Amino acid sequence: MKVLHSKILGDGSPLLILHGFLGMSDNWKTLGNQFAEAGFQVHLIDQRNHGKSFQSNDFDYELLSRDLHYYMAHYHIQKGILLGHSMGGKTVMQFACSYPEKVEKLIVADIAPKYYPPHHQEIINGLLSLNFEEIKSRTEADKRLSEHLTNFGIRQFLLKNLYWIEKGKLDFRFNLEVLKDRMEEIGENIQALDTFDGDTLFLRGDNSEYILKNDFDSIKKHFPKATIDTVSNAGHWLHAENPKEFFVKVLTFLNR
């Protein structure tokens, strides 16, 4: 097996942070530094087919969970605090249910233990439309992408993945070819009988529809000790849209 790429900040209790679909560890750098200053050893992790981690045709939550288990073994982490957003939230839910003895506390950001139908097709189509034989700058990439995606914030989030693979040649760090074919797996739920009995916090954005009131029973079924809280003035990217409130709510949970 290969070890996931990560950036490790600070010293203290291990706090492992997993990004969402088409994201990467760098999305969490500012909050990661804050958690490190608060006394945690923060591991900002790139999941497979994302960021600087390895690429693979195989992609489901059981594999992503195993990747994380191997990562913890590699760094001799006996037990850690896990925080995952969206797709990363599904990974840490699966991990906590599969390896409960490895989890100190669990934080899930704006995703519920349920199946989500594929709903990123507009983003995928926009990304597939970019021809890096023709596009020679980030500005030009943004201009082309804006023809498909009008939301500036989402475009900036996606374009953070651009890098120069060689002089004059741009590409994305995420493995778009595999991810576009794995939309069903990305929406998949954890197993029906999976449970984790440890301390758990679910945070949802008040403008997001990813965690609805009628999901609360399902959350409690899988995670009986779960607290469900809301971050104000935030949608699905709650950690980026209201980072101050997100940080305070997570830190309060970790220190209780």
Q: What is the CA radius of gyration of the chain?
A: 18
Residue of 37, 122, 140, 177 with catalytic role: 177
From 50, 222, 236, 239, the catalytic residue: 236
* Contact yes or no for 168/202 (Cβ under 8 A): no
Q: Give the H or E element holding residue 228.
A: strand 226-231
- Alpha carbons 108 and 91: distance in angstroms, whole number: 10
Concerning whether 65 is annotated as a catalytic residue, the answer is no
Tallying the residues shown for the chain, one arrives at 256
5 tagged catalytic: no
Helices 152-159 and 138-146, axial angle in degrees (round to 10): 140
C-alpha separations of 211 from 98, 157, 239 in Å = 23, 22, 15
**Rounded Cα gap, residues 55 and 58, in angstroms:** 9
104 tagged catalytic: no
* Cα end-to-end span (Å), the chain: 36
Q: Fill in the amino acid letter for 152.
A: F
Torsions phi, psi of 20, nearest 5?
A: -95, -175
Per-residue tokens: 8: 């490790």
Phi and psi torsions of 161, nearest 5°: -80, -5
Question: Which one from 6, 86, 98, 208 is the annotated catalytic residue?
Answer: 86
* Catalytic (active-site) positions: 86, 177, 236
